[in-house]
Structure 1
Amino acid sequence: MPQNDASQTLDLIQRAAWAYYHDGVKQSDIASMLQVSRASVVNYLAEARARGYVRITMHPDVFSEHQLGAELAEAYGLQSVMVVPKAGSQRNSLLRVAKAAADWLPGLLTAGDRLGVSWGQTVFEVADAATVSPVKDLTVVQLVGSLATPLGFAAETCSANLARQLRADCINLHAPLILSSPDLAEQLAQEPVIAGQLQAVRSCNKTLLAAGSCTEDSHVVASGIVDRDQLRAFVKQGAAAVICGRFIDADGAPIPSDSDARMMGATLDDMRNKEMGLLVASGPDRAVSARAAIRGGYATHLVTCTDTARDLLALAV
């Protein structure tokens, strides 16, 4: 396409998008104004969205005021709950919940915050769904060390992707999630660079997290943090959820493990009682783990789907 034609098309795309999304002009009127067909206007608006000129979000207040959300907030003592309609499949419901969380998150942040970002598929999907929403003077911190995983996501990817979209500084934790011995973990934690990064982990005033399940297809098994026999042993001790690679029971209390002293990253004490803890949960096995996280004081806000919300209400005793 000749450069003049490309420039003219870009101008039409921008004018159509501004008129439609900003000024509220009807598509037929835009077509008359630009002297093009209505079909061309439809194409210009689609192209504006594809190029990122326009960002469409669902207003979180619509969902936080939903009856299920209000009931959940009251039942569990949460500050706010967003419940989004379930999609046709578990995967699509997760993506819808992740997108809702990504859209809500910037409004829960203020200048000077230090946002700790957990790890797992749910957190990865939130970061992946985030769009450019700058938050002034924000620092995003990777809460757990790195781990080679066949699942296609890593802790540093979650934090870095989210920091990029929020236009925030990013502090990654340049250490493995789990080491071969407690002595080695202690020595590494004393290294000045790692010590500074661990201090950043402890200084976070807000967090984004998911509570992993204790089923045998959990990512703690798939990623090699524990094997199936070890997982079964934790379940026998009452394990109901996993937060930052550490197990908690149904009331959110820690279940001690030999691996705790070998792990690099946020402890359960580090994760509790934050100014804001945004818990993202969706799936048939996530109500139990979400309940444990909420009861343990790890969350103040929740984003979930209708099915998981109803399961949580049934567990609110």
Structure 2
Amino acid sequence: MQIPQPPLAVAAGNPDDQLNIRIAWYYYVTHMTQQQIADHFGITRVRVNKALATCRETGLVQFRINSPLASCVALEHALQARFGLQRATVVPSPEDPAQIFRVLGVGVAPTVEAQLRDGCTVAVGWGRTLRQAVRELEARSLPRLTVLSLLGGLHYGSANNTVEIASSLAGLFGGAYYYLAAPVFAPSETYRDMILAEQSVRAVLGQAREADLALLTVGDLTERSLMLELGLVDPASAQSLRDAGAVGDLLGRWLDRDGREVDHPFNRRAVGLSLEDLAHIKKVVLVSGGPYKADIIRAVLGRGLVHELVIDEAAALRLAEG
């Protein structure tokens, strides 16, 4: 269990944040009971319990279990051999599907932390899994760290947005971040070409091609899809993507089961780094899971773009069996 130093914005934040951190410290470090903490601060046990839950959910309190499961290790070796991976990490699947993002975030955090060093460049995608991965990282000082977004984003604030993920990651380490001031999908192919020709966009993507590390996840085409939930892809378009053979996306590029980009307008309007350019990045880490994402994960791995994979056990079994 770790209680990391919070980002400066949190450390200097509102009184509730400060109280939550103090409660977590007394509970996990000094082993005071919830009742003792409640008496100490003159609050109820319900308030103490809520504070501890908040600290876990936001990543202020992190847990690490340093003993691998034999079944997961066997799957790791199988995936490494099958897909030519440098490393695979398989974590137990949660009973509650809603916890998949937290489980994967905990699983990928040590991999990311091992790669980070002052002066390195990290390129990131977007989504709920990456949002949680950032929450599970332990903050430290890396003032020369550069974080880049690999694709366009939303026109409004969202914790899953490319901008928020890049800024949160950079903020943990005191680094700088740059993003594409553009949508995930341009309104037309012509407009997409104009965006990609813009100097600031070219500068970010140019740096991204030379990144030391890329941290990515993939999207599916089920009802769980974040693209559908956010309205970036409407139900009719989702069906037309399925009809074209798509099983999911990587960086807004929709792929078929063999990892080929499907013939669809979305692929001609996507704003971000191309998959061909992604191949030039020194280390590409894919973190994704859930058995419903097995097809798109397999498709991406089949392209040989990924060096390290973090996945849950249920999805790993689907890959090993398929």
TM score, norm. by length of structure 2: 0.74
Shift of 1:55: 6.2
Asked if 1 retains the 8 angstrom alpha-carbon contact of 2:244 and 2:264, the reply is no
Asked if residue 83 in structure 1 is aligned to residue 68 in structure 2, the reply is: no
CA distance in 2, matches of 1:173, 1:214: 24
Once the two structures are superposed, what CA deviation does each residue of 1:108-139 show, in whole Å capped at 9, x if it has no partner? 33444321100122222212332314457431
Asked if 2 retains the 8 angstrom alpha-carbon contact of 1:150 and 1:223, the reply is no
Give the one of 182, 185, 189 matched to 2:192. 185
Shift of 1:216: 4.0
CA distance in 2, matches of 1:231, 1:117: 24
CA distance in 1, matches of 2:156, 2:231: 8
Closer, same or farther in 2 for the Cα pair 1:89/1:191, shift >3 Å?
same
CA distance in 1, matches of 2:280, 2:246: 20
Asked if 2 retains the 8 angstrom alpha-carbon contact of 1:151 and 1:222, the reply is no
Shift of 1:152: 5.2
The match for 2:260 is 253
Q: How does 1:1-317 map to 2 (within 5 A)?
A: 57-59=64-66, 62=68, 66-135=73-142, 137-148=144-155, 153-272=160-279, 274-315=281-322
CA distance in 2, matches of 1:208, 1:63: 25
Shift of 1:73: 1.3
CA distance in 1, matches of 2:238, 2:134: 28
Once the two structures are superposed, what CA deviation does each residue of 1:141-176 show, in whole Å capped at 9, x if it has no partner? 111112147975211111111122243321122222
Gaps of 5+ in 1: 1-9, 21-26, 28-37
Which one-letter code corresponds to 1:125 in the other structure?
Q
RMSD (Å), alpha carbons = 3.4
Shift of 1:273: 5.4
Give the match's secondary structure for 2:130.
Answer: helix
Give the match's secondary structure for 1:140.
Answer: strand
Identity of aligned residues (%): 23
Closer, same or farther in 2 for the Cα pair 1:53/1:160, shift >3 Å?
closer
Shift of 1:105: 0.7
Shift of 1:263: 2.9
CA distance in 1, matches of 2:69, 2:202: 41
Closer, same or farther in 2 for the Cα pair 1:75/1:53, shift >3 Å?
closer
Shift of 1:95: 0.9
CA distance in 1, matches of 2:144, 2:304: 27
Once the two structures are superposed, what CA deviation does each residue of 1:69-103 show, in whole Å capped at 9, x if it has no partner? 12221122111111112222112233111122123
Shift of 1:287: 1.4
Give the match's secondary structure for 2:233.
Answer: coil
Shift of 1:291: 0.8
CA distance in 2, matches of 1:126, 1:53: 12
Shift of 1:53: 10
Deviates more, 1:294-303 or 1:267-276: 267-276
Shift of 1:229: 2.3
Closer, same or farther in 2 for the Cα pair 1:179/1:138, shift >3 Å?
same
Gaps of 5+ in 2: 1-21, 41-47
CA distance in 2, matches of 1:269, 1:77: 18
Which one-letter code corresponds to 1:73 in the other structure?
Q
